[in-house]
Chain A
Amino acid sequence: MITAQHEQDSAATATPDRIEGRQNWMSVLARASADDIACRLSGLHPLPRYRLIRGPETGLVMVQGRAGGDGVPFNLGEVTVTRCTLCLEDGRVGHAYVAGRDARQAELAALVDAWLLDESARARVLAAVIDPLAVVQRDAAAEVSRRAAATKVEFFTMTQMR
């Protein structure tokens, strides 16, 4: 069982906008498949060299829910999570927690996370990897909500009929 850990790097990198930026790219990487990440990375060779600190390893995380969003927390169920931590040669440490069992996805996501901490490479990696993946994910989400919206029932009409 993986215990939830909040890992943050040195105080210098922990300002709110940097945390938000990192949360953003980590969430994009967590939703992208290993092949998608590898495909976007292929234009950026050579990739930085790295060594694994932990994992990639698969475990379970208990997800808690709250009825109505503000009720008493209850255990909703366990979700399979794969995590990976690695270290680049310059000492930057990247983390990834992704749903599912894909070790390659976790490793690539951690690699991109570590690489994005390097400010000299950040703009290039964001443009090549994160931004295109984010666009694809946003379009896919919009498509799903468009289809769902088409099935919406107007209860307003039914009350008028009475």
Chain B
Amino acid sequence: MTASPTLAAFANPVLDAQAAFRALLAAMSRPGTVRALAALPESPAGLSPAAAALLLTLVDSETPLALAGGTAARDWVSFHCGAKLVAPQKARFVLDPGCRLLDLDPGTEEEPEQGATLLLEVDALVGGSGWHLTGPGVRGEARLCVVGAPPDFLADWAANHARFPRGVDVILCAGSRIAALPRSLKIARE
């Protein structure tokens, strides 16, 4: 049973979701760039404004979602997105800090687009220093400093990158800012 949330979502559902989608598209096609989302929803406890905006943009009743966080977050997402909540292994989108990259569905060789997308909440995102990023969408090399990433993230990422075209894409969320790590990206420690 789902309780009704007492928080609204986007003030302007269509245009705000389009703006968030556009920002995500830009972040995904230029890995290492940090984008601020302009229009943010009222977000419940346990979800950053950026993560809440991305869920409203990407998730609906046809995209199974694995969601950690308290009942406030789950009720809000169930009500506004209408998403089915499932175990992380079966989810298209995952927002669960306890989940490791390699536990998630990487798609198949025939249908790599079926791979899951992990939304990872971190403390801060700063461009220009930190990890060395190379790969499609990056001219030469990009730098991204991720404060608060899980300790074994880079080792998991190397294994995730190695199974290309299968794999999991990651969207990093910090407050109202996002950055994306598509599976084609190679990451080296600073």
With beta carbons under 8 angstroms apart, the residue of A3, A11, A52, A93 that contacts B4 is A93
B-chain residues with CB within 8 Å of residue A109 when the two chains form the complex: none
Is B108 part of the contact surface with A, judged by Cβ < 8 Å?
no
> How far in angstroms is the closest Cβ of chain A from B96?
23
Give the bracket for the number of chain B residues in contact with chain A: 10 to 19
Beta-carbon contact of B80 and A54 below 8 Å: yes
Q: Select one of A3, A9, A14 contacting B82, CB under 8 A.
A: A3
Asked whether, in the complex, the Cβ of B1 is within 8 Å of the Cβ of A14, the reply is yes
Structural contact, A7 and B82, CB atoms closer than 8 A:
no
Query: Within the complex, which residue of B1, B5, B13, B82 is in contact with A53, where a contact is CB–CB below 8 Å?
Result: B5
Residues on B with C-beta less than 8 A from A91 are 6
Q: B1, A11: Cβ atoms under 8 Å?
A: yes
- A8 in complex: contacting residue of B1, B5, B9, CB < 8 Å: B1
A159 interfacial contact with B, CB 8 Å: no
The digit string for A1-28, where 1 denotes a CB below 8 A from any CB of B, is 0010101111100100000000000000
Contact indicator B6/A8 (Cβ below 8 Å): no
* 30 A-B interface contacts by CB (under 8 A): A3-B61, A3-B82, A5-B79, A5-B82, A7-B2, A7-B79, A8-B1, A8-B2, A9-B3, A9-B4, A11-B1, A14-B1, A51-B8, A52-B8, A53-B4, A53-B5, A53-B6, A53-B79, A54-B8, A54-B9, A54-B79, A54-B80, A57-B13, A85-B79, A87-B4, A87-B6, A91-B6, A93-B4, A93-B5, A93-B6
Q: Which residue of B lies closest to A88 (CB)?
A: B6
Q: Which of B36-92 contact A (CB under 8 A)?
A: 60-61, 79-80, 82
The answer to whether B7 has its CB under 8 Å from any CB of chain A is yes
Q: What is the size category of the interface that chain A forms with chain B?
A: 10 to 19
Chain A residues closer than 8 Å to B13, beta-carbon distance: 57
Give CA–CA (A3, B9) in the complex, Å: 17
* Closest Cβ–Cβ distance, residue A1 to chain B (whole Å): 10
Residues in chain A near residue B80, CB distance under 8 A: 54
Q: How far is the CB of B175 from chain A (nearest CB, A)?
A: 24
* CB-CB under 8 A for A53 and B61, given A7-B79, A9-B3, A14-B1: no
**A57–B61 CA distance with the chains assembled, in angstroms:** 18
Contacts of B8 in A (CB 8 A): 51-54
* A51 CA to B42 CA, complexed, in Å: 13
Most chain A Cβ neighbours within 10 Å, of B8, B9, B82: B8
Interface residue ranges of A80-111 to B (CB < 8 Å): 85, 87, 91, 93, 95
**CB-based nearest B residue for A53:** B8
Cα A85 to Cα B79 with chains together (Å):
10
Residue of A nearest to B76 (CB): A53
CB distance from A7 to the nearest CB of B (A): 6
Top 8 nearest A-B pairs (CB, nearest first) are A93-B4, A87-B6, A3-B61, A3-B82, A53-B8, A7-B4, A8-B1, A91-B6
Known contacts A3-B82, A5-B82, A7-B79: A53-B7 contact under CB 8 Å: yes
